Amino acid sequence: MPAHDVIVLGLGGMGSAAAAHLAARGARVLGLEKFGPVHPHGSSHGGSRITRQSYFEDPAYVPLLLRAYELYERLERDTGRRIALYCGGVMAGPPDSRTVAGALRSAERWGLPYELLDARELRRRFPTLTPADGEVGLYEARAGLLRPERTVAAHLQLATRHGADLRFEEPVIRWEPYRDGVRVHTPDDTYTAGHLVVCPGAWAPRLLADIGVPVRIERQIMYWFQPRGGTGSYAPDRHPVYIWEDAAGSQIYGFPAIDGPGGGAKVAFFREHGAPCTPETIDRTVHDHEVRAMAARLDSCLPTLPGALIKAVTCMYSTTPDEHFVIARHPAHPGHATVACGFSGHGFKFVTVVGEILADLALDGTTRHPVALFDPARFASPPA
Ligand SMILES: Cc1cc2nc3c(=O)[nH]c(=O)nc-3n(C[C@H](O)[C@H](O)[C@H](O)COP(=O)(O)OP(=O)(O)OC[C@H]3O[C@@H](n4cnc5c(N)ncnc54)[C@H](O)[C@@H]3O)c2cc1C
């Protein structure tokens, strides 16, 4: 019998959640992570992530979001950490934009509570936002933000509490099917297990080259500005998170000032300006022209935000061609491994439910959650 039931490769957002769910179900779990616990080298750092339910990307995500919200609440209860802040959220832009029309479609389809605000009402409720006449915003009271580092720390804490063996600074070099399970090699040792769960984030193109999904790794930037006139009107009890699409279809998103008077408020482009990179070659320096481009964009919609730049930090998206996730048994080795990658810049709000799904797939081979959208077979080329 192998020494472990399941090995989890990568203990970032998804892997730490998988390890926690697997260990809580009584599986003997070994977690292997290239870096230390809760690190800034992948995709799960930067202090905040937006969460929302009126999901403009596709209404198919909504049932998963409802479960993710429940599991985030449970995670806070189980670990005593404050992870979520439901400050409300505005999806803004022209009425027919993907952001507004898509959010409205999801809200209507699933009966989610929302308010549709015209430009005047938006300016009155949220004076920092200056939409042009004709722009609208869908307001969702249950939207808000999650703390990514605390989420990862909480899942690592739970996994350990339930007996998982978590090893850091121990990268997986390669793995192969072995008997009924897998054999996994690191510089330190070789391990065997009944099953492998691969959650490699931006390292997917190398570690999952054989699943037939072209995952593109993109360099993205998060900016923290000190609002002109102070952070008062950006306080989380009066400022929502927002995603804002302009007439050309370009989206920015941002947060209230959650780190006190000196911490500024964070803002970023969504899925845009993402230069292709690899974890080894990414340019971690943020350049003046990039800061100027963001400040110029803010002038038209949040003109009081771009005061002094406090900091700017890079992060990697792992983007699939259709921007939907990949979560499934490994197509080439379905009896041996389960994969989770290609979260395309919108995965964090799902971390808890993805952990649950990965535990289902690893232990039972199936899940009650709707995951058809995430099947890697959608990229398989038709037979010649
Ligand atoms: C700038 C930015 C903004 C974002 N904003 C949002 C948002 O507002 N809302 C939202 O829902 N989502 C957002 N996302 C997306 C979300 O953060 C990601 O989808 C999510 O963090 C991906 O988690 P992951 O586990 O796949 O990757 P990671 O958390 O990076 O984990 C992968 C792990 O695998 C490890 N690893 C890799 N190779 C090996 C190996 N060989 N051996 C051992 N370990 C290995 C890595 O070290 C890493 O710890 C954003 C992402 C970025 C970058």
Record the pTM: 0.98
Q: Angle at CA 84, nearest 5°, toward 319 and 63?
A: 60
The tens digit of pLDDT for each residue in 61-112 reads 999 999 999 999 999 999 999 999 999 999 999 999 999 999 999 999 999 9
Q: Is 266 in the pocket of ligand 1 (CB under 6 A)?
A: no
Q: What angle do CA 341, 138, 318 make, to 5 degrees?
A: 15
Instruction: Give residue for tokens 């037939």.
Output: 212
Tokens of 9: 């490769």
Gap from CA of 170 to ligand 1 centroid (Å): 18
- pLDDT tens, 292-309? 999 999 998 999 999 999
Ligand 1 atom closest to the CA of 200, numbered from 1 = 34
Cβ atoms of 358 and 72 within 8 Å: the answer is no
Q: Torsions phi, psi of 199, nearest 5? A: -125, 70
* Mean pLDDT on 253-270: 95
317 CB near ligand 1 (under 6 Å)? yes
Q: Ligand 1 in contact with 186 (CB < 6 A)?
A: no
DSSP-derived 3-state class of residue 334: coil
C-alpha angle 46-48-52 in degrees, rounded to nearest 5: 145
Residue nearest to atom 13 of ligand 1 (CA): 346
Reported as a single tens digit per residue, the pLDDT across 312-371 is: 999 999 999 999 999 999 999 999 999 999 999 999 999 999 999 999 999 999 999 999
Q: Are 128 and 302 in contact (CB under 8 A)?
A: yes
DSSP per residue over 151-220, as a string?
HHHHHHHHHHHTT-EEE-S----EEEEETTEEEEE-SS-EEEEEEEEE--GGGHHHHTGGG---PEEEEE
**Does ligand 1 lie within 6 Å of residue 222's CB atom?**
yes
β-pairing, 4-9 vs 29-32, is parallel
Question: Quick check: 383 pLDDT over 70?
Answer: no
Q: Does residue 382 register a pLDDT over 80?
A: no
Atom of ligand 1 minimally distant from the CA of 346: 12
From the CB of residue 310, how many other CB atoms can be counted at a distance below 10 Å? 15
Q: Which of 30, 33, 39, 44, when mutated, tests ligand 1's pocket best, judged by the most ligand atoms within 8 Å of its CB?
A: 44
* Mean pLDDT, rounded, of the chain: 96
Task: Look at residue 5 and tell me whether its pLDDT is greater than 90.
Answer: yes
